[in-house]
Amino acid sequence: MKIAAVIVAAGRGERAGGGVPKQYRDLAGKRVLARCVHRLHQCGVFMRIIVVVNPLDRDHIDAVEGELGFRLDTIPGGATRTASVRAGLEAASETGAEAVFIHDAARPFVSPALIDRLVDALERHQAVIPALPVSDALLRVGDGGAMGEPVSRDGLQAAQTPQAFHLASLLDAYAQLGGTALPDDAAVVRAAGGEVALVAGEAENFKLTTPEDFIRAERMLMSEAITVTGQGFDVHRLETAEVMWLCGIEIRAGLGLVGHSDADAGLHALTDAILGAAGAGDIGEHFPPSDPQWKGARSDAFLLHAIKRLHEAGGELVHADITLIAERPKIGPHRDAMRTRVASLLGLPEKRVNIAATTTEKLGFTGRGEGLAAQAIITARLTP
């Protein structure tokens, strides 16, 4: 079955706070919408993932695309959820899809297992949604906010998304709806006389609505986070020169480092360490020395690129340690400036950055003063 997904992300989400629509709020280092798209993309089920957005949110959309590393398939939404879904269905119908999943952008924890249950159910039903039994006691609120009559939980369940439909039947239900707005797409099918089947939902697939929901989501992600390390090593030959760039600062000691870029061995080793933690290869893959555009380039740019790749992988830097191995120049007089500069580039407090220096006791190329070596190790936290 050819299946398209429609993510509804045009709302304003003001109840969640944060100063921006909730689908663009940061959640443990990645925006909510980016997490939502990533989850659906990982499932490998959908021929197209359409994101219905407010065109005024272009800056936020650009940021999400930066985190994902690819362009979103966006279309403009309408004034209501129903209007936005209609727009998404029209886009899905142009793809040749036979079925469509409609999902709220504010549910970033949908699992592959839930998607599989919905796909299986669509083989037997025209419409199917996930739902959870209501576990809390229910009651009506009386005058003045006092407790009113209890409501029986028997037969009650809480609906979730994504909601899955055979596309033709859902389009027909919307055609019968006219201009009426309903709370969700299952209600549209029911209003048109159709039946909606239920599959088991998941407690983790909750909707971010209030500030407390974001606190819960952050805690959930942090409990699933893992700690990773990355290491890097670099060597450059020494020569007589006016300026040397090392760990992001300029040193004038009559020596320079030979390389295609500015040859900053400290930042090169650090860049490789960060790329390693992100599982993104090494500096030579991203900035090959054979490419003339990097001739004389500042290594700051290489480092910032590596940090971006780590963020795209769901990572956050925690600590960095650089060891410089050289007989010359003397590192001690420059150590504090190096630490300040590296901390600034990494966005870390200085107490989480260490710069160490050592020699090889006159042994080897560093001992003979022919070159300088640097090694770096970083610690990062990766969230799902």
**What is the reported pLDDT for 153?**
86
**What is the reported pLDDT for 25?**
94
Residues 6+ apart with CB under 8 A from 44: none
Polymer length in residues for the chain: 384
**What is the reported pLDDT for 135?**
85
**What is the reported pLDDT for 299?**
95
Q: Which residues of the chain have pLDDT under 50?
A: none
Where would I find the H helices in the chain?
Answer: 32-43, 58-68, 81-93, 112-122, 167-177, 185-191, 211-224, 265-278, 283-286, 299-312, 335-346, 364-367
Side chain identity, residue 365: F
**pTM, whole model, 2 decimals?**
0.70
Sort 298 into a burial class: Cβ within 10 Å, 0-12 / 13-18 / 19+. Answer: middle
Three-class DSSP labels, 17-41: CCCCCHHHCEECCEEHHHHHHHHHH
Residue 101 sits at the vertex; the CA angle it makes with 59 and 99, to the nearest 5 degrees, is 130
CA separation for the pair 329, 332 (Å, rounded): 9
226-382 homologous superfamily: 2-C-methyl-D-erythritol 2,4-cyclodiphosphate synthase (3.30.1330.50)
CA separation for the pair 218, 26 (Å, rounded): 10
At which residue do the structure tokens 């443990």 appear?
28
**What is the reported pLDDT for 15?**
63
**What is the reported pLDDT for 300?**
95
- Pairing relation of β-strands 157-159 and 244-246? unpaired
**What is the reported pLDDT for 289?**
87
3-137+155-224 architecture in CATH? Answer: Alpha-Beta Complex (3.90)
- Closest Cα to residue 376, out of 271, 283, 264? 271
**What is the reported pLDDT for 16?**
58
Q: What is the DSSP string of 126-176?
A: SEEEEEEE--S-EEEE-GGG-EEEEE--TT-EEE-S-EEEEHHHHHHHHHH
Residues 6+ apart with CB under 8 A from 378: 229, 230, 231, 270, 273, 274, 277, 317, 318, 319, 320, 321
Locate the domains of the chain by residue range: 3-137+155-224, 226-382
User: CA Rg, the chain, in Å?
Assistant: 27
- Closest Cα to residue 103, out of 55, 41, 155, 60? 41
> Which run of H or of E encompasses 250?
strand 249-251
Number of C-beta neighbours around residue 314 at 10 A: 22
